[in-house]
């Protein structure tokens, strides 16, 4: 039901930056990516941004509202 976190309070994401909640993405030092470096965070942000864009263009507004309810 809530956002999945590690025992350290980091947001759990998959390889595309998706979280366990539909339409919620994470990137950078707040996620469970193992290396907390600027260049890694920048790359993860790009991936999460592209994944979010892909999600938005493929999701109908009615689908999103139904999932949230």
Q: Delimit the domains of the chain by residue range.
A: 1-69
Average pLDDT for 25-42: 89
Q: How far apart are CA 56 and CA 68, in angstroms?
A: 15
Residue 64: pLDDT above 70?
A: no
What is the 8-class DSSP label of residue 17?
A: S
Q: How buried is residue 21: exposed, middle or buried, by Cβ count under 10 Å (0-12/13-18/19+)?
A: middle
CB 14 within 8 A of CB 55: no
Q: What is the pLDDT of residue 16?
A: 92
pLDDT tier for residue 66 given thresholds of 50, 70 and 90:
low
pTM: 0.73
CATH for the stretch 1-69: 3.50.50.60
Residue whose entry in the numeric block shows the structure tokens 């994401």: 13
């Amino acid at each position: 039901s809530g956002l999945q976190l590690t025992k350290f309070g980091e947001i759990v994401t998959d390889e595309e930056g998706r979280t366990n909640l539909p339409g919620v993405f994470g990137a950078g030092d707040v996620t469970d990516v193992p290396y907390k470096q600027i260049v890694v965070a920048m790359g993860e942000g790009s991936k999460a941004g592209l994944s979010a864009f892909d999600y938005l263009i493929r999701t109908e507004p009615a689908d999103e509202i139904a999932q949230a309810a």
